Structure 1
């Protein structure tokens, strides 16, 4: 009726219709009709021409969908940038604030200890935030490698639980932590990437603690069908049903903006999922708003050697406290004076003789005049002559002198370039004392 009226009154009618093609698929048609009249203006009928616009329609819908997704993505990124400013500035405020308070002369030892503890805690927090952002970038650019080594699963879990208890105590929460271990000590030695497995477990435990105001968290792990299955169940606030499908997407948080009641960047679960999948596993979530959540994941079970290896590893770690390098000489090379002071201080207890250089050129001259240097700690990013260039020059003088690179570059390609240039090992900044001593012990013998 509408078509007839339009043709009668306007002489034209246009419409879109969806019909089933003879091959069974549905297609979209754009139909245009005009009236056909005699010379006396009498209507003889109508002429209709139809065009298949299925492809055009699909492109149009794809563009609309892409625009909606782009707007949603921009909104998430804007929210992320706002969150990151808050997440970085909050611990930074404590670090700077308590450092300034320490300058006062009338502080008791107890107060100083409290301030230092706050600085350490917030420094670690800041480091984790920056680490998460860098790790997300590395994962997205396929710069993460899973490196398998022998590790004690029970030992990893014990470290996770102890760290979780510290977080609960610091946040003054009334949370009961229940552990269900289905691995015997003689079966917990596995091949895994210890660092990345800990990162995944830490993210999931931090998540459970964050969203559980009081109640309980149950941590369990077992071997099932040649898989190691981890489950972390909490009695926290839970997740809305409509958000469960997006929970592992980056920057996603149930509540954004100034009114969000919980801290975080919204990338922890994204990182956890990416790492688990790269380890050959799968991750799942079940949740009910107001009841709690359960995150679980599985990774392939790769059994390793005997407990004798674990014992040897423990003995090796303990030996770091008995280092005596009083007859050894170490060259520290860095253009940053504060880094030299820091490295000098953490090596002080080893008894090693330390000489320092502020440039690659100065380092080369010292190596020429000090043939008794046993090891070099070399910064990679220096003006005039960088660490790569300095390494190549040092190798011309001392072919077998151990060179340990220290760098803020964290991508695998950077590490490969450093090692190919002639460095024997690579330390990523910030450098921790235990890690530095462990690496140096591989090249420097005790007296």
Structure 2
């Protein structure tokens, strides 16, 4: 059966009035004939002029009456016709609106040649700034909304008036719309109207992006797992080969006893490496299964960290690396903490193992400070290769392995930092890092834990801190004095040569911390460091260099530099140095008396 639209319905209604048109035409013809014929008949059959006049009067009244009825009927027909047309149009519009209201995320519209909205149905256009109640009867140019969106819509709609069907995407802030428009055909051939729809496709866009991201992560996860399997095979094979090889040498009677002792040590180290790797795998599996349980107890925090410090100092001695291991113990501290000791020690061990792997020269330093009675902040800092910015966002993901700036890949399973992050989350804490390539990395994590005992000096025992910022070059040095002055710290800025600097140091008490900057004459710094260490009481010296040089870095640490940073220092780095060398050494913000 042929489907009928509203145009067909209008034609059907119009056909109902064709009899009235025929009646009017016949009446008109008959009236003309009757008027012409009656006058001659009257003159032919009636001689009395008064009778003829009376009959003509009756004829006129009859003609007027019938004509009035005919005219009334035709007017009524026209009114009825218009009413039916309006009714049909209203019904069609109601059908159209009902249909449009059931179209999800869609606004339909109709515009004329001047781009005036004749129809705008749907609420989605409000997200573009097109409010139906305010836009109807106005042109696109007169409606106040996003200028870029307006220009795009005008360009596409003008293109539609040329006879093209338009399908395009429009973005407005966080919303995406698909614009569909096509000309309404006219008999003349040139369209007078363009009908279309604005479809909100924001959710589809988000879903597509999420699918793309999920696909990317799945591919990345598959790649990382493949690399992990390859790495773990290599990591297991290497110590196993060492164990088997040195075990055979130990059993060889021709091997000297002192060499056997050395081989025993190699076998022990390889075995410990295997155990640590297997422990990491088991810990990760337990964390994923959710079977890791916490057993909190009271313990002396400084005692635990002292043991860690001694252990890692011994590791570097055995490895023959010239790396200084420093435990930043707060002055007069003796804190008893209520928390999960074994998990906290595992977190610090994983972070320290990571620092050991990526540090060939300089230092590894770790420590803590209480932020309040229920929160402690820990840090593990190294002067190693640093982490590239693009890797810092994913460094805590599983199977991620660190790379040097030259893309050298380091050994390991890529699980240590991931396990550390998961354990910090288990302890209801948070972990983050500060790092620059070549400069080093500092991991920090905060965990809640009740401080049972705290013997740091109270605020009334603190002495004002003093910082010296020495610039031995003509260039502008680090602009950090303002930060320290906001902390109510005395800041002395020196700008000049080394001779004046040493004269100033001899005539004043030693600073609590010193920033040393010399650009481009970096060769001056090792000599200055040597004199500082030999002639003055030790204090932290932070070297700030404008460029990286690995030989220079190795030399300044050998000469006694405390830390090495690249210019300019960030606010986070400055704040960290303040907390580490001023806040921690002067004591906590609270004591047991408070």
Q: How would you bin the TM-score normalised by the shorter chain?
A: 0.5 to 0.7
Whether the 8 Å contact between 1:236 and 1:293 is mirrored in structure 2 is yes
Flag the 1:154–1:43 CA change in 2: closer, same or farther, 3 A: closer
2:165 maps to which residue? 12
Could you list the per-position Cα deviations for residues 300-353 of structure 1 after superposition, in whole angstroms to 9, with x for gaps in the alignment?
3434599xxxxxxxxxxxxxxxxxxxxxxxxxxxxxxxxxxxxxxxxxxxxxxx
**What do the CA deviations read for 1:87-140 (whole angstroms, capped 9, x no partner)?**
222212211222233332322222222222111111111110111111112112
Q: How does 1:346-425 map to 2 (within 5 A)?
A: none
Give the corresponding residue for 2:60. Answer: none
Shift of 1:53: 2.8
TM-score, reference length from structure 2? 0.46
Question: How far does residue 76 in structure 1 lie from its aligned partner after superposition?
Answer: 2.4
Shift of residue 3, structure 1, vs aligned partner? 5.9
Deviation of 1:214 (Å): 0.7
**For residue 312 of structure 1, what is the aligned residue in structure 2?**
none
- SS in structure 1 opposite 2:247? helix
In the TM superposition, what is the alpha-carbon distance from 1:164 to its structure 2 partner?
A: 0.7
Paired residue for 1:152? 300
Structure 1 residue 14, shift from structure 2 partner: 1.8
Mapped to 2, the partners of 1:119 and 1:112 lie a distance apart of 10
Q: Which residue of 2 aligns with 1:270?
A: 418
**Corresponding position: 1:195 with 2:342:** yes
Cα pair distance change 1:225/1:3, threshold 3 Å = same
Please tell me whether the aligned partners of residues 217 and 232 of structure 1 are also in contact (alpha carbons under 8 angstroms). Answer: yes
1:256-315 per-position Cα deviation (integer Å, ceiling 9, x unaligned): 9x9634222222111112212322332231112111111222333434599xxxxxxxxx
- Distance in 1 (CA, whole Å) between partners of 2:161 and 2:217 is 41
Which of residues 393, 396, 399 in structure 2 aligns to 1:251?
399
Separation (CA, whole Å) in 2 of partners of 1:172 and 1:77: 34
Aligned match for 2:352, one of 177, 194, 205: 205
2:305–2:327 CA contact under 8 A, matched in 1: no
- Mapped to 1, the partners of 2:344 and 2:365 lie a distance apart of 18
Cα deviation, residue 210, structure 1: 1.6
Instruction: Give unmatched runs, 5+ long, in structure 2.
Output: 1-154, 455-594
Change in CA separation of 1:244 and 1:99 when aligned onto 2, cut-off 3 Å: same
TM-score by length of 1: 0.60
* Per-residue deviation, 1:179: 2.3
SS at 2:214's partner residue?
helix
Greater RCO between the two (CA within 8 Å, min separation 6)? Answer: 1
CA contact (8 A) 1:30 1:53 kept: no
Secondary structure of the corresponding residue to residue 265 of structure 1: coil
Is the 1:153–1:188 Cα contact (8 Å) retained in structure 2? yes
| 2:241 aligned counterpart, secondary structure | helix
Does structure 1 residue 31 correspond to structure 2 residue 180?
yes
Deviation at 1:56, TM superposition (A): 2.5
Match of 1:218 in 2: 365
Q: Deviations over 1:203-223 (max 9, x none)?
A: 111122221111112222333
- Distance in 2 between residues matched to 1:230 and 1:4, nearest whole Å: 64
Which one has a bigger Cα radius of gyration? 2
Q: Deviations over 1:210-241 (max 9, x none)?
A: 21111112222333312333222221111122
The 3 A distance-change label for structure 1 pair 294 and 109 is same
**CA displacement at 1:44 relative to structure 2:** 4.8
Structure 2 distance, partners of 1:189, 1:13, is 72
1:152 Cα deviation (Å)? 2.7
Structure 1 residues 299, 45: closer, same or farther in 2, change over 3 A?
Answer: closer
C-alpha distance in 2 between matches for 1:179 and 1:4: 73
Structure 1 unaligned segments of length 5 or more: list them. 307-447
Residue 173 (structure 1) shift: 0.9
Does structure 1 residue 302 correspond to structure 2 residue 450? yes
Per-residue deviation, 1:27:
4.8
Matched, 1:143 2:296: no
Distance 1:216 1:48, change over 3 A: same
Query: Residues 82-93 of structure 1 correspond to what in structure 2 (within 5 A)?
Result: 82-93=230-241
Higher strand fraction: Structure 1 or Structure 2?
Answer: 1
| CA RMSD across the alignment | 2.9
> Would you say 1:240 and 2:388 are equivalent positions?
yes
Alignment equivalent of 1:64, drawn from 187, 205, 212 = 212
- Tell me, in whole angstroms, the C-alpha distance in 2 between the residues paired with 1:176 and 1:125: 22
Task: Identify if the C-alpha distance between structure 1 residues 19 and 77 changes in structure 2 by more than 3 Å, giving closer, same or farther.
Answer: same
Counterpart contact for 1:183–1:223, Cα < 8 Å: no
Question: In the TM superposition, what are the counterparts of 1:37-56 in structure 2 within 5 Å?
Answer: 37-38=186-187, 41=189, 43-56=191-204
Q: Is the 8 A contact 2:365 2:381 kept in 1?
A: yes
Equivalent-residue separation in structure 2 for 1:111 and 1:215 (angstroms): 31
The verdict on how the C-alpha distance between 1:303 and 1:19 changes in structure 2, with shifts beyond 3 A counting, is: closer
Distance 2:190 2:453 in 1: 97
Separation of aligned partners in 2, 1:15 and 1:81: 47
Structure-2 separation of matches of 1:107 and 1:160: 35
